[in-house]
Amino acid sequence: MERTFVMVKPDGVQRGLVGEIIARLERRGLRLVGAKFMAVSNEMAETHYGIHKGKPFYNGLIEYITSAPVMAMVWEGVNAVAAVRQTMGATRPTEAAPGSVRHDFGLEVGRNLTHASDSVENGQGEVALWFSEDELVDWKRDTDRWIFE
Ligand code: DAT
Ligand code: MG
């Protein structure tokens, strides 16, 4: 089953939106396989956002993501990567589809509430970066056959 790394960023945690965001992913039918509430080290932030190094917003991005705790999670399901990106919405909240998290709760690109892996390959890499194997739970959900065809 496809897995994706999802994070409620510091603004989402500070604004009390962790439950709301988890509820949307649960309601969508995705299955939670790992979660931890944590502070992000500078080293972790720089590894995670390595592809953005050198861009004008990079320093602000690192400062933002390390400024307060985050909720790091792994979710799985059929087309989990695309489904979660859709639930979160476009990077800029003012371009995110109505009904998406970033549209419904955000205004600014630098306070866009969540992270979600953008490809299956990056999802695998990010899951491995943020979680060890023993932090991921392999389980069968009783409703799986009513959600997965
Ligand atoms: P996404 O988080 O939708 O995958 P991304 O990977 O392109 O977007 O960028 C990572 C984060 O960096 C994004 O969530 C917010 C910030 N960011 C991206 N582009 C930005 C910009 N032009 N100005 C300020 N922050 C930006
Ligand atoms: Mg990205």
Q: What is the pLDDT of residues 20-79, one digit of tens each?
A: 999 999 999 999 999 999 999 999 999 999 999 999 999 999 999 999 999 999 999 999
CATH architecture observed for domain 2-40+69-138: 2-Layer Sandwich (3.30)
Q: Output the ligand 1 site: residues, CB below 6 A.
A: 52, 57, 61, 91, 109-110, 112, 115, 118
Domain residue extents for the chain? 2-40+69-138
A 10 A CB-CB count for 58 gives 15
pLDDT at position 76 is 98
pLDDT at position 131 is 98
Q: Whose CA is nearest to atom 21 of ligand 1?
A: 57
The yes-or-no answer on residue 48 being catalytic is: no
82-129 pLDDT, tens digit per residue, is 999 999 999 999 999 999 999 999 999 999 999 999 999 999 999 999
Q: Tell me, in angstroms, the distance from the centre of ligand 1 to residue 58's CA.
A: 9
pLDDT at position 106 is 98
pLDDT at position 57 is 97
Q: Whose CA is nearest to atom 23 of ligand 1?
A: 57
Q: Can you tell me the distance from the alpha carbon of 115 to that of 53, in angstroms, rounded to the nearest whole number?
A: 17
pLDDT at position 88 is 98
Q: Can you tell me the distance from the alpha carbon of 95 to that of 89, in angstroms, rounded to the nearest whole number?
A: 8
pLDDT at position 82 is 98
Contacts of 110 (CB under 8 A, 6+ apart): 57, 60, 61, 64
Query: Which one of 4, 53, 55, 57 would you pick to mutate in the ligand 1 pocket, going by the greatest count of ligand atoms within 8 A of its CB?
Result: 57
